[in-house]
Amino acid sequence: MKKIIVTGCNGQLGRAVNIELGNQEEYELVNTDVAEGDGIHPLDITSVDAVTAFAREVKPYAIINCAAYTAVDAQEKDVDLSYKINAIGPRNLAIAATETGAKLVHISTDYVFDGNGTRPYIEFDKTGPVSMYGISKLAGEQFVEQFSRNFFTIRTAWLYGDGKNFVKTMMRLSETHDEISVVNDQVGTPTSTAELARAIHGLLSTENYGLFHGTCEGSCSWADFTEEIFRIAGVSTHVNHVTTQQYAQMNPTTAPRPKYSILENYMLKLTGGYTFADWHDAIEQYMKNFILK
C-alpha cells in the first residue's frame, strides 16, 4: 500500500482529500497538522529537520500539501509567518519529497496574479501578486519548482468545503438579516474541495508533472454566488450588489482583493487531465451534502 502524507489534514481541502482517497485500497493516508489529534501526527512544516525526519520515517509515495496561511489581511502585518508557512513550508516538503523519492502535490492560489486580467489566466501567463498572501504563495511555488523533481502545483480559487468558508458565512448571515451587501465587481470561480480532491486523485498516479490551474468551470461575482447559494437553500434574504469600494467603507480590509480571479484549467485540458464540474453543479452538490442535510 502506498503511503501518502497529507499536511493540513484538518482544513477544508485536507478533509476532502481524506474523503476522496481514504477508502482507496491503493493508498494509506498519513495525516498531519500543526496539532496532534485522533490519528493525526503533529508536524511543523516550517521546520526542515522535522519534515525530513518525518518523511524518512514514513517513506511516502506522495506528499499532498494542504497546509497554508490563508488569513489574507493578517499577513500584511505578519510577514514572517506568511513566508514561513506559505514559502518555507513548501520548500521543506519539496526537499523531503526529493530525498525520499516522493511525488509532491502543492496547492497554490489565484492571488499570484495581479487581478487585473481581461481573460481567464492560464498557466503560462505572467504572475504579479499585489498582496503578502500572493507574494508568499508565489515564493512557495518557486521553491517547489526549485527543490522538487516530481511535483504537481495546482492553483485554485474561491475554495469551499467542510470547514469555515464563504458559503457558511452567507448562510449564517441570512438567519439574522433580511438583506446583505456583497461585492459584484470581483469575479472568479467558486471551487468545491471535492472537485479539487478528485483532480489531485487523477494526477497522483501519473507523471503529468508541472503547474496546473484547478477550478470549477464558469465564473461569477461574489454577489452572484451568494444569490445562487440562497436560491438552492430557499433563502429569501435579498442580496444588494455593491462595489468593492462601497463594501470597503462598511468593512475595511488591509490587503487588496483581486478583481479578476478567473483561472483557465489550460494545462489539464492540454494534457487530458481531470475535467472540473461547472460551479453551479458543484455548489448544489455541496449544499446537499453539507448544508441542507
Return the active site residues.
133
- In order of 41, 43, 149, 161, the CA distances from 54 in angstroms are 10, 8, 19, 28
Compute the Cα dihedral for 194, 197, 201, 207 and give only its sign.
positive
**Residue 68 exposure: Cα atoms within 13 Å on the Cβ side:** 25
Handedness of CA 214, 136, 205, 148 (dihedral sign): positive
Among candidates 243, 222, 220, which has minimal Cα distance to 167? 222
Q: Which class for 59: exposed (0-12), middle (13-18), buried (19 or more C-beta within 10 A)?
A: exposed
Q: How many CB atoms lie within 10 A of CB 124?
A: 8
Please check whether residue 273 is in contact with residue 203, taking contact to mean a CB–CB distance below 8 angstroms: yes
**Residue in 97, 201, 73, 92 with CA at minimum distance from that of residue 139:** 92
179 vs 201: CA distance, rounded Å: 40
